[in-house]
Chains A and B, each alone.
Chain A
């Protein structure tokens, strides 16, 4: 009785609350459309090659929530989607899987690829080739222009993925930013796009875009090495006449190699060779 007295208020309020719901409509089935959309052959191919094994989805149909709505972009040609993603699979995923292990890309990868047909032109005349957002989504532009038979075209395309993936790796495990920042501190500039590549290299940067900040510098250095054969990369270095600049580029290369080894136990040069081997396979088939 004492307990009843103590809690009678709660009991009365509870009874009232429950009673107040007595005449409410009970929930029925969802009004939202949960029916599975009809899958095209392309959807099935994406499912088999990306979604099921790697939990990576590929968006090629337009969804304005995935793309900057202020940009004048459009979806890719459907016929270009599978060839582009085959390049991604062969050169990026297969290379990292061979060298980094079966689970490497499964664990660290963007969860979404957003494909865009056209060129993402900026109002300053520069072109954005790709975007990596929060390590989760990589947007790839100019899918319509990819020519699998052209080394230059494939290299530019895969450079974008390699570059964005380096950002994702960096977001997982940071590189030695302090050491990097000490190498060429005065060369960084927001107007990198007006700089000639030869000038940038003479200042110790592998590309002009690398001059935006140390993060882009790291990603550009790694991506350029991964998308060049040893001979091509040696030729780039041979073209740099300034001894300090050459030493700085080589020092950055050493930091990249060290990062891959220490953070992921990956032999960076073996990864480069694998990517080159797979690039040859893509172009010649």
Chain B
């Protein structure tokens, strides 16, 4: 074949391809508009929607309900990219500021449309790397986002997906009542958080209509998340509660399943200072405080050396144990009370248990004050598993002295008429010495010590 025929064939093929490529210019449009129109349309739609609610929007933001509770946020979007915002987040100082603050927001267009709270406001408190409620969340704060991808509307609510974690977040139309109710969450939150005089332990009491079982409720007030661990060694059950708050009580996003009933609303009961979720047929779950540790142990027996046995000693050393997490707020308060009274600062509070059911509690100081000892008798309460200390005398190592008024308030807690619980802890602080805590049976006092044997 001559080259010109090849050339002609190629030319015909080329023309055919050109014409053919134009033969069906219509393609099935998947959308009525092009991508740019759709995105800018969605942008306008979202902004109009945000501005449409006269009293703004409410979102109970659960950043990760497998380990954290929820924080209620109210947003009032204003023209010009402004937004008024309030939340019931608990600050690092323990205070809850529900006041309304103004900041900026914008609707960003990327691969999709998103709402961004672009200048600082309350919602950013959940995204502070340096303020994290559990050790596992180091550098992750409360796992909060403040950029939310617009997913659409459902039942008048706006559905978003959070930026980093991909969780769904629902904005519900707020009412004037929502704004006036927000500060009413504060006393409820404080009730479950407690103060320095609140009992140290929490119980989750579950009644399935026939019997009541108690669970040791380990609750992290910052995380708003708690787990009830069975007190019965034979029962390997635990219940997680992820709480958010309202003026009546707490709501758990994770329902408590009791005999097929799902309990979510824990109403605060003022007379008993407890949170009660009531189901049908006698089913009930209660979160309550208790001064007695849910699990009693025989650890207290280390304070009762047998006749002829060497004495045992346990000491709080300020330099190493002042910041121990097991010192209760009341303990810290009483130690500070002594330290702030004069130049004398508590150096040690040390128990020496002798083999004749007596104890010397040594208070030593820096700042020139001499060491004092409070001697007490010890009575074992085998039923409640406590030791009860009763005053014998005060001495300075060589002679009897008058009671030392400086340490009275702290010392009174150790002389609790109902006694002291003694617990061998599983953690260590700085040194390999075993840690023991001494907890008053009728107050929220707990002090942390090293075992010296």
Point out residues on A near B: beta carbons under 8 Å: 9, 12-13, 16-17, 20, 31-33, 38, 60-64, 69-78, 117-123, 125, 144
Are A13 and B18 in contact (CB-based, < 8 A)?
yes
Q: Given A16-B18, A38-B80, A117–B130 Cβ distance below 8 Å?
A: no
* Contact status A78-B119, CB under 8 Å: yes
A64 to B110, CA, bound (A): 11
Minimum C-beta distance from B103 to chain A (A): 8
Contact between A76 and B141 (Cβ–Cβ < 8 Å)?
Answer: no
Q: How large is the interface on B (under 10, 10 to 19, 20 to 34, 35 or more residues)?
A: 20 to 34
- Contact partner, A74, options B11, B19, B120, Cβ 8 Å: B120
What's the minimum C-beta distance from B390 to chain A, rounded to whole angstroms? 46
Give which listed residue, B22, B37, B103, B106, contacts A31 with CB less than 8 A.
B37
Residues of A within 8 A of B15 (CB): 12, 16
What 1/0 mask marks residues of chain B from 126 to 141 whose CB sits below 8 Å from any chain A CB? 0111100000001111
Query: Which B residues lie within 8 Å of A63 (CB)?
Result: 118
* Residue pair A117, B80 in contact (C-beta under 8 Å): no
The 4 closest A-B pairs by CB, nearest first: A74-B124, A119-B130, A61-B118, A72-B129
B366 lies within 8 A of chain A by Cβ: no
A120 CB → nearest B CB, Å: 6
- Contact between chains at A75 and B138 (CB < 8 Å): no
Q: Given A71-B129, A72-B139, does the pair A61, B37 have CB atoms closer than 8 Å? A: no
Q: Which of B143-151, B180-188, B224-232, B327-335 contacts A (4 or more CB under 8 A)?
A: B143-151
Known contacts A13-B14, A71-B129, A75-B120: does B146 contact A62 (CB below 8 Å)?
A: yes
A–B Cβ pairs within 8 angstroms, 25 of them: A13-B18, A16-B15, A16-B18, A31-B40, A61-B119, A62-B116, A62-B118, A64-B116, A71-B139, A72-B141, A73-B127, A74-B127, A74-B128, A74-B146, A75-B119, A76-B120, A78-B103, A78-B119, A78-B120, A118-B124, A119-B128, A119-B130, A121-B130, A121-B138, A125-B138
Interface residues of B in 91-112 (CB under 8 A from A): 103-104, 106
Chain B residues within 8 Å of A73, by CB: 127, 129
Q: Kindly identify which residue among A20, A76, A119 contacts B18, using a CB–CB cutoff of 8 Å.
A: A20
Kindly list chain B residues whose C-beta atoms are within 8 Å of the C-beta of A31.
Answer: 36-37, 40
User: CB of B369 within 8 A of chain A?
Assistant: no
B33 CB to closest chain A CB (Å) equals 10
Whether B127 pairs with A64 at a CB distance below 8 angstroms is: no
Q: List residues of chain A with CB within 8 A of the CB of B14.
A: 13
Which residue of chain A has the shortest Cβ distance to B123 in the bound complex?
A74
Q: Which residues of A contact B116 (CB under 8 A)?
A: 62, 64
In the complex, what's the smallest C-beta–C-beta distance from A70 to chain B, in angstroms?
Answer: 8
| CB-defined contacts of A64 to chain B, threshold 8 Å | 116, 147, 163
Residues of A with C-beta under 8 A to B163: 64, 69
From 1 to 34 in chain B, residues with beta carbon under 8 angstroms from any chain A beta carbon are 11, 14-15, 18-19, 22
B130–A118 touching, CB < 8 Å: yes
Using A61-B119, A64-B147, A119-B129 as known contacts, list a sample of 16 further A-B pairs with CB atoms less than 8 Å apart, ordered by residue number in A: A13-B14, A31-B36, A60-B119, A61-B118, A62-B119, A62-B147, A64-B116, A69-B164, A72-B140, A74-B146, A75-B124, A78-B103, A78-B119, A78-B120, A118-B129, A122-B139
CA distance A72 to B147 in the complex (A): 12
How distant is the Cα of A71 from the Cα of B106 in the complex, in angstroms?
A: 21
Task: Say yes or no: A62 contacts B117, CB within 8 Å.
Answer: yes
Report the tally of A-B residue pairs with Cβ distances under 8 A.
Answer: 81
Give the contacting residue for A121; candidates B22, B104, B139, B144; CB below 8 A.
B139
Bound: A74/B116 CA distance, A? 11
With contact pairs A38-B80, A64-B163, A123-B139 given, residues A33 and B40 touching in the complex (Cβ less than 8 Å): yes
Asked if A77 and B164 sit within 8 Å, CB to CB, the answer is no
Chain B residues within CB distance 8 Å of chain A? 11, 14-15, 18-19, 22, 36-37, 40, 80-81, 103-104, 106, 116-120, 124, 127-130, 138-141, 143-144, 146-147, 163-164
Contact B130 A61 (CB under 8 A): no
Q: Whole-angstrom distance from the CB of B15 to the nearest CB of chain A?
A: 7
**What is the bound-complex CA distance between A72 and B140, given in angstroms?**
5
Complex interface: chain A residues within 8 A of B146 (CB) = 62, 74
The interface residues of chain A lying within 8 Å CB-to-CB of B124 are 74-75, 117-118
- Neighbouring A residues of B128 by C-beta, 8 Å: 72, 74, 118-119
A70–B40 CA distance with the chains assembled, in angstroms: 28
Q: CB distance B22 to A20 under 8 Å?
A: yes
Q: How far is the CA of A32 from the CA of B19 in the complex (A)?
A: 34
Which residues from chain A contact B164 at a C-beta distance below 8 Å? 69-70
Query: In the complex, which residues of chain A have a beta carbon less than 8 angstroms from the beta carbon of B127?
Result: 72-74, 118
B12: min CB distance to chain A, Å? 11
User: Which of A12, A64, A70 is the most central at the interface, judged by chain B CB atoms within 10 Å of its CB?
Assistant: A64
**Residues in chain A near residue B19, CB distance under 8 A:** 16
Residues of A within 8 A of B147 (CB): 62, 64
Q: When the two chains form their complex, are residues A77 and B120 in contact, meaning their CB atoms are under 8 A apart?
A: yes
Per the bound structure, the CA–CA distance linking A70 and B140 in Å amounts to 9
Q: Which of the residues A38, A72, A125, A144 comes within 8 Å of B143, measured between beta carbons?
A: A72
Residues of B within 8 A of A60 (CB): 119
| CB closest residue in chain B, given A9 | B11
Closest residue to A74 on the B side, CB-wise?
Answer: B124
Residue of A31, A60, A62, A73 with highest tally of chain B CB at under 10 A: A62
Q: What is the CB-to-nearest-CB distance from B164 to chain A, in angstroms, rounded to a whole number?
A: 6
CA distance A31 to B38 in the complex (A): 11
Q: List A contacts of B120 (CB < 8 A).
A: 74-78, 117, 144
CA distance A246 to B19 in the complex (A): 82
Name the residue on B nearest A119 (C-beta): B130
Least Cβ–Cβ distance between A122 and chain B, in angstroms: 6
Closest to A17 in B: B18
Q: How far is the CA of A280 from the CA of B284 in the complex (A)?
A: 66
Distance of A55 from chain B, by nearest CB (Å):
23
In the complex, what distance in Å separates the CA atom of A33 from the CA atom of B118? 19
Residues on B with C-beta less than 8 A from A20 are 18, 22
Contact of A75 among B18, B118, B129, B143 (CB under 8 A): B118
| Residue of B104, B129, B140, B141 contacting most chain A CB atoms (<10 Å) | B129
In the complex, what's the smallest C-beta–C-beta distance from B21 to chain A, in angstroms?
8
Cα(A33)–Cα(B11), bound, Å:
46
Q: How far is the CA of A38 from the CA of B104 in the complex (A)?
A: 12
Closest A residue to B147 by beta carbon equals: A64
Distance A23 CA – B300 CA, assembled complex (angstroms)? 94
Q: Within the complex, what minimum Cβ distance (angstroms) separates B399 from chain A?
A: 46
